[in-house]
Amino acid sequence: MSRPNLNARGESVLRTLIETYLEAGEPVGSRLLAKRNPEPLSSATIRNVLSDLEDEALVAQPHASAGRVPTELAYRYYVDRWLKTLPPDPEVEGRLSAALDGLELDPESWARQASRTLAEVMGGVCVALPLPLAQSRLVRMEFVSVNPGRLVAVWVGSLGEVEHRLMENPWNHSQTVLTELGNYATAHFAGLTLVEMRSRLLEALRAGAEEGEFLRGRLQELAARWPEDPGAADPRVMVSGLGKLGGLPEFEDVSRFRALVAAFEEHGRLAHLLNAFTDRASEDVQLLLGTENPYFEAWPLATAVRTVALGPSGFVTFALVGPLRMDYGRVLGGLRWWSRQVQCRRERTLRPQSLP
């Protein structure tokens, strides 16, 4: 999609229209725009600018006598060019902090509670999908000897996590050998999940004598002792706050709302959505507008996706879904603040267990 070509006046009117519509939720007329636009413009001039914006597919007119509303393209222009995320105010911060309780316990129970809280505080629907550690892909592997007969496998994963797994070392490999094993695993298996790496070792490293056979053989011994698949069972998708969408103007039509509810009941669709953006959402909040979300492109929805690491339990990917008329600064700022708090809580929890 090509970027609209707007002059300063066109940008000023578009920004005013979007911010007015976000606030009021009703089509914006030229008179109101003339009052609210920073630059003093007549209603006739405003109408001419609106006509140009309509030609650029940035505004639409629901019917002939109505004002204008921003399009999906306009929201993307607004988010990319002008959006400033806002930290939560003290009341919202306190409510979001409640969604950190129980983080150290069962991840699925915590994800369900956190999903409900995010839906209530941020508005809209919150979808959550716990992801087992098996979803993480290897960036670096290290093995560290801790005492005779035991070692720690250190997994540095693609979602930014560093996990430690205590394992038996009945062969009493020296630290020199363990370092070589880690280097070899990193060089040959980067990009694989733990399950894929284990499978590759068990299937392919029984070859005859050749360079590296010793290291591959030792890794094979270790792989045989790893759990087969910590995430074998498909985790359940959790949906919170769906009923609130029915009260929004965008979904006053009953049949339209029923179709949306049916879409949210397709948990396979939701799991595909969350899995598709897990990696990118581990870096920062990913914002999908309207047709940018291939799983909900039929509805005028905005989707903010964020993945948070929970430690050895794995990850949870959250998606906040609301109408395109979303308070983007508040939602993105709140979700970023909350995900940082999750990370800080997790680091404090894991710190006593870290290696010296």
Task: Round to whole Å and give the CA distance between 164 and 144.
Answer: 10
CB-count burial class (<10 Å; 0-12, 13-18, 19+) for 261: middle
Domains 8-81 and 136-223 share a fold: no
Those residues of the chain that have pLDDT short of 50 are: 208-211, 229-234, 352-356
pTM (predicted TM-score): 0.71
Per-residue model confidence (pLDDT) at position 277: 85
User: Where do we find the tokens 């205590």?
Assistant: 166
- What is the chain's percent helix, strand, coil content, to nearest 5? 50, 20, 30
Task: Round to whole Å and give the CA distance between 347 and 310.
Answer: 9
Question: Residues 52-87: pLDDT tens digits?
Answer: 999 999 999 888 777 899 999 999 999 999 999 988
**For the domain with range 136-223, which CATH number is right: 1.10.150.120, 3.30.390.60, 1.10.760.10, 3.40.1050.10?**
3.30.390.60
The CA distances from residue 199 to 43, 84, 165, 195, in Å, are: 69, 46, 18, 6
In order, the DSSP letters of 14-37 are: HHHHHHHHHHH-SPBPHHHHHHHS
Task: Round to whole Å and give the CA distance between 98 and 310.
Answer: 16
Structure-token pair, residue 253:
């039509």
Q: Does domain 8-81 have CATH number 3.40.50.2300?
A: no
Beta strands of the chain (E only): which ranges? 59-60, 69-70, 125-131, 138-147, 150-157, 162-168, 238-240, 286-289, 301-311, 314-323
Structure-token pair, residue 100:
């950190």
> Domain 90-132+235-353 - what CATH class?
alpha beta
- Give domain limits for the chain: 8-81, 90-132+235-353, 136-223
